[in-house]
Amino acid sequence: MWRICPTAPRSRLPHLTGGRCSCTRAGCTTRGRSGNCRPAAPRCCSTSAAGSSVPMPPLAGATAPFAEDTACLMDFRTPQPAHGLSFGYLLPLGPDRALVEYTEFSAAPLSRASYDAALEHYTTQVLGLGPFEVWDTEQGVIPMTDARFPRQTGRHTFRIGTSGGATRPATGYTFASVQRQSLAIATAYRRGALPAPPQAHSRRSLALDAVMLRALDSGRVAGADFFTRLFEHVPMERMLRFLDGRTSVREDLTIGFATPVLPMLRTVAEMPFLRRGAS
């Protein structure tokens, strides 16, 4: 993940208005994820596929290198790996600064040099940026798995965050779940109750995630195509709620019909016969 500042500001990137990626206006949950967007390494590999999501709407009259009110959430114009899924991420921090991320779903993390090469390709070949200065870097790994994470490991020891199961298995979203766990702990402590963190995600959300991870791992669905269909057919606000596990049963059903139905149903049928590990 790079935080960059162009050294020779240009007009706003014209190819971003004509390129294809999933976007959201400022104020949505995307802006709360800047500290959480890290190269991800799930415990299952999705099948690679070239793909793209809904087009970014043009912003008339923009002259700065970056449009401050638009973030590119998943840009599938990155070269797709033979096994897994990759995408770029662009979060403007100002008219001339942005956080740029390269994420790859894989069985193991890449080397630092590989991540740097991928970011170099994304910023120069895909985004078409001119000269810029990298003023901060960040790298991390998010486990994407449906393994169980115990929230209590001792009489007075509790886990929150990723180690406490707060990471959404199929999306990597963690920040909002940590806030919910922290609020519950603070409330319980203030009332004199046991400050144990609650389960971060509903059983329904975890079941849906398990099905999706298995479908990707088995190769029944291609990762880029899978997410492309979701972003093309599901309204953005509903999609963001789904990624954070805050959709209703009815909304989950409508989202399910935007996925490859037969491969997903086949995966649902085999789930009771699969073993699940513990973490």
- Written in H, E and C, the secondary structure of the chain is CEEEEECCCCCCCHHHHHCECEEEECCCHHHHHCCCCCCCCCCCCCECCCCCCCECCCCCCCCCCCCCCEEEEEECCCCCCCECEEEEEEEEEECCEEEEEEEEECCCCCCHHHHHHHHHHHHHHHCCCCCEEEEEECCCCCCCCCCECCCEEECCEECCHHHHCCCCCCCCCCHHHHHHHHHHHHHHHHHCCCCCCCCCCCHHHHHHHHHHHHHHHHCCCEHHHHHHHHHHHCCHHHHHHHHCCCCCHHHHHHHHCCCCHHHHHHHHHHHHHCCCCEC
Which of 12-16, 51-55, 90-94, 107-111 is most confident? Answer: 90-94
* pLDDT, mean of residues 156-174: 88
Q: Does residue 107 belong to any structural domain of this protein?
A: yes
* pLDDT, mean of residues 143-162: 87
Residues 6+ apart with CB under 8 A from 4: 97, 98, 99, 100, 123, 129, 132, 133, 134, 135
* pLDDT, mean of residues 263-274: 89
* pLDDT, mean of residues 8-18: 31
Specify the higher pLDDT residue, 83 or 225. 225
* pLDDT, mean of residues 76-100: 86
Q: Does residue 7 belong to any structural domain of this protein?
A: yes
Query: Could you give the number of structural domains in the chain?
Result: 1
Q: Measuring CA to CA, how many Å separate 58 from each of 25, 65, 122?
A: 12, 13, 20
Return phi, psi of residue 38, to 5°.
-135, 155
pLDDT for 182? 93
Return phi, psi of residue 86, to 5°.
-135, 155
**Residue 150, pLDDT above cutoff 50:** yes
Q: Does residue 196 belong to any structural domain of this protein?
A: no
**Residue 42, pLDDT above cutoff 80:** no
Among the listed residues 144, 149, 68, the one whose alpha carbon sits nearest the alpha carbon of residue 108: 144
pLDDT for 136? 87
* pLDDT, mean of residues 78-99: 85
Return phi, psi of residue 154, to 5°.
-165, 175
Specify the higher pLDDT residue, 86 or 54. 86
pTM above 0.75, yes or no: no
Q: Does residue 130 belong to any structural domain of this protein?
A: yes
pLDDT for 235? 93
Q: For residue 255, give both structure tokens.
A: 């989202």
Q: Does residue 27 belong to any structural domain of this protein?
A: yes
pLDDT for 276? 62
**Residue 257, pLDDT above cutoff 60:** yes
Q: Does residue 79 belong to any structural domain of this protein?
A: yes
Q: Does residue 104 belong to any structural domain of this protein?
A: yes
**Residue 39, pLDDT above cutoff 50:** no
pLDDT for 106? 80
Q: Does residue 243 belong to any structural domain of this protein?
A: no
* pLDDT, mean of residues 93-107: 87
pLDDT-derived band at 192 (thresholds 50, 70, 90) equals: very high
Whether the CB-CB separation of 189 and 222 falls below 8 Å is answered with: no
pLDDT for 50? 21
Query: Domain range holding 27?
Result: 2-137
pLDDT-derived band at 141 (thresholds 50, 70, 90) equals: confident
